[in-house]
């Protein structure tokens, strides 16, 4: 698809500086720009690329004032990053969408498939399942008995959803993710043996949740593991049994949430965050990468770093001291020697 600068500016409610008739047919990073490509500049540290980029059109913030000549046509918008994301969504939605049921797919007679759904090769839809309208179920997906999904969901190749799980509308799950596997429930017995505790609950994923590749979300022992509306999970995340994740919370890769923990809404977790079980995380909490949370976070909108995690400002002060520990150790040893000399 091709778009002129004038067309893009009209869609984005922006202003053109340069050639309104110039056309683009692809997107590129500003540092890798080439003729016919659309790029954007949002972060000031990349500004130097705009003076050398070969991209035909660059989206910039309205406040941007170039310090030298720019060859590319500029489209000034309120927020260049948001505008670029809007265009990416437009292009994605324009792609042709697969429909129909592949001849190798297995759909149990009691399952119900909505209109305009796509069921790919070797997918399995179990007994009493419900697949909503306009859903896409890609090859090798397993959708277990009595599970259901709302309209406009996408299950990418190799997704496995165990029995009795529930997905809302507009849910996207990426390749290799497993939803509803047994929680880690074992009761210690004599002689160092463990008895498995049956996991009789399910997983509930609400509307407009997106889950990355190779994520595991365990079913509840009783009741439900719940991922609330608008949550976004990166790849390689573990959500344990009976966890509840609040609305619009986002988590980066390799985060792990232990069982029965309640995470508030609008939280943000960096990569490799670890959270203990049976605790509560207040709304709006932000946790830096590789931090560990062993107990409740009670104050809303806290920003935490470290293990055990504490206020980020105190953590940064401690980090400065930590860097100086070798120097401080040498000073202390020198003072101890002098003190010992004085005593003698």
Any idea which residues carry the catalytic annotation? 241
Q: Which two tokens stand for residue 103?
A: 């001849």
Largest CA distance in the chain: 95
- 312-323 vs 325-343: helix crossing angle, rounded to 10: 60
**Total residues belonging to the chain:** 344
Rg (CA), the chain: 26
243, 179 Cβ separation under 8 angstroms: no
- Alpha-carbon torsion (337, 338, 343, 344), positive or negative: positive
For residue 292, how many other CB atoms are within 10 A of its CB? Answer: 16
- List C-alpha distances in Å: 277 to 185, 244, 246, 291, 342: 13, 11, 16, 15, 54
């Amino acid at each position: 698809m091709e778009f002129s600068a004038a067309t893009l500016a009209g869609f984005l409610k922006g202003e053109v500086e340069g050639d309104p008739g110039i056309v683009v047919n692809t997107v590129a990073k500003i540092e890798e720009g080439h003729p016919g490509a659309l790029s954007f500049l949002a972060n000031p540290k990349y500004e130097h690329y705009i003076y050398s980029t070969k991209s035909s059109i660059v989206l910039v913030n309205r406040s941007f004032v170039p310090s030298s000549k720019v060859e590319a046509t500029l489209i000034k918008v309120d927020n260049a990053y948001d505008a670029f994301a809007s265009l990416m969504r437009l292009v994605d939605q324009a792609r042709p969408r697969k429909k129909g049921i592949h001849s190798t797919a297995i759909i149990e007679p009691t399952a119900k498939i909505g209109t305009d759904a796509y069921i790919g090769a070797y997918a399995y839809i179990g007994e009493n399942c419900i697949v909503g309208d306009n859903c896409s179920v890609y090859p090798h997906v397993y959708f277990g008995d009595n599970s259901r999904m709302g309209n406009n969901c996408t299950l990418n190749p190799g997704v496995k959803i165990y029995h009795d799980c529930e997905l809302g509308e507009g849910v996207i799950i990426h390749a290799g993710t497993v939803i509803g596997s047994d929680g880690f429930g074992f009761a210690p017995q004599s002689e160092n043996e463990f008895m498995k505790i049956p996991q009789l609950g399910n997983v509930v994923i609400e509307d407009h949740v997106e889950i990355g590749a190779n994520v595991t979300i365990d079913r509840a022992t009783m009741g439900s593991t719940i991922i609330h509306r608008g949550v976004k999970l990166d790849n390689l995340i573990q959500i344990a049994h009976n966890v509840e994740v609040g609305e619009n919370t986002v988590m980066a890769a390799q985060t792990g949430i232990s069982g029965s923990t309640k995470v508030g809404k609008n939280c943000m977790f960096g990569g490799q965050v670890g959270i203990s079980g049976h605790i509560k995380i207040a709304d709006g909490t932000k946790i830096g990468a590789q931090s560990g949370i062993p107990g409740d976070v009670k104050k809303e909108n806290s920003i935490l770093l470290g293990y055990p995690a504490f206020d980020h400002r105190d953590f940064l002060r401690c980090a400065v001291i930590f860097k100086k520990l070798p120097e401080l150790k040498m000073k202390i040893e020198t003072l101890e020697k002098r003190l010992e000399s004085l005593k003698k």
